[in-house]
């Protein structure tokens, strides 16, 4: 096996590894955004326990702020939640977080699609775009939006929504006189989003490593070909 072939192996390994990471992260973030377990609330009263999970897209799904999910608040868009913050602002914040989740999923899917597409259809366009450079950008951008999704959601739940007070603490304060025990916190879908973010960041690094080694192997092959041609000219 020639030196050029040996140098061509690492990019394949990195690309395949990045593909696996991107695919797994795509599945995780799709499951996370599609399930109802970002926040779990559990209350017990007279030895009866009720559990409710709330997903990212169950808080405020509607463009009409008056139909905002009652899990958070009821009322018109101009109703004050706390301080000067209105329901309309709460809905806008939630829609921004939801948009970040959707964009992250689309970008991760594009990275997963483009990598085999580039490998199967080697053309001038895909060569110009680089062997892994586009996937690096797509998965990197997906990881940024995944980071924004869980970080903004955590900020929303821990501080922003109730103006410095945790959403779960506020619920516990309101329900403490009506239930025996109350538990509230982030659930598994929130953790899945964090894991997906980490995997997307790793896949972006792996795609870039594949691009780097591919470029280095191509440069080395070109130099060897140039030296070989030069030697043949001298011999002639």
pLDDT along the chain (236 residues), means of 10: 46 80 90 85 83 74 42 54 77 87 90 78 61 84 93 91 84 81 88 92 86 70 62 58
pLDDT at 154: 93
Distance of CA 205 to the CA centre of its chain: 15
pLDDT at 146: 92
Residue 57, token pair as written in the block: 């897209």
The phi-psi region of residue 130 (left if phi > 0; otherwise alpha if psi is between -120 and 50; otherwise beta) is left
In which domain, by residue range, is 94 found? 3-235
pLDDT at 73: 45
Task: Domain count for the chain, please give it.
Answer: 1
pLDDT at 115: 74
Phi (first) and psi of residue 166, to 5 degrees: -65, 140
Three-state secondary structure call for residue 39: strand
pLDDT at 61: 38
CB distance 52 to 35 below 8 Å: no
pLDDT at 155: 93
pLDDT at 160: 86
Q: Which residue has the tokens 């390994």?
A: 13
Give dist(CA 133, CA 197) in Å, integer: 19
Provide the whole-model pTM: 0.77
Give dist(CA 205, CA 176) in Å, integer: 48
Q: In what order do the strands lie in the sheet with 39-45?
A: 48-54, 39-45, 181-186
Three-state secondary structure call for residue 43: strand
Three-state secondary structure call for residue 59: coil
pLDDT at 63: 38
């Amino acid at each position: 096996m020639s030196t050029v072939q040996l140098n061509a192996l690492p990019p394949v390994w990195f690309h395949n590894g990045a593909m696996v990471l991107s695919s797994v992260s795509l599945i995780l973030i799709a499951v996370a955004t599609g399930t109802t377990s970002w926040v779990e609330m559990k209350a017990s009263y007279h030895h009866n326990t009720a559990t409710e999970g709330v997903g990212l897209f169950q808080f405020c799904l509607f463009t009409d702020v008056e139909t905002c999910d009652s899990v958070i608040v009821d009322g018109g868009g101009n109703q004050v939640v706390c301080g000067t913050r209105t329901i309309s602002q709460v809905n806008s914040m939630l829609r921004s977080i939801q948009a970040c989740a959707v964009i992250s999923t689309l970008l991760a899917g594009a990275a997963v699609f483009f990598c085999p597409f580039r490998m199967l259809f080697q053309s001038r366009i895909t060569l110009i775009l680089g062997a892994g450079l586009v996937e690096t950008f797509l998965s990197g951008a997906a990881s940024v939006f995944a980071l924004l999704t869980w970080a903004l959601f955590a900020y929303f739940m821990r501080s922003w929504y109730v103006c410095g007070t945790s959403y779960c603490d506020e619920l516990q304060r309101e329900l403490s006189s009506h239930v025996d025990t109350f538990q509230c916190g982030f659930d598994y879908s929130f953790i899945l989003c964090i894991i997906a973010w980490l995997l997307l960041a790793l896949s972006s690094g792996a795609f870039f490593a594949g691009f780097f080694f591919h470029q280095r192997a191509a440069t080395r092959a070109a130099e060897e070909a140039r030296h070989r041609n030069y030697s043949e000219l001298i011999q002639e």
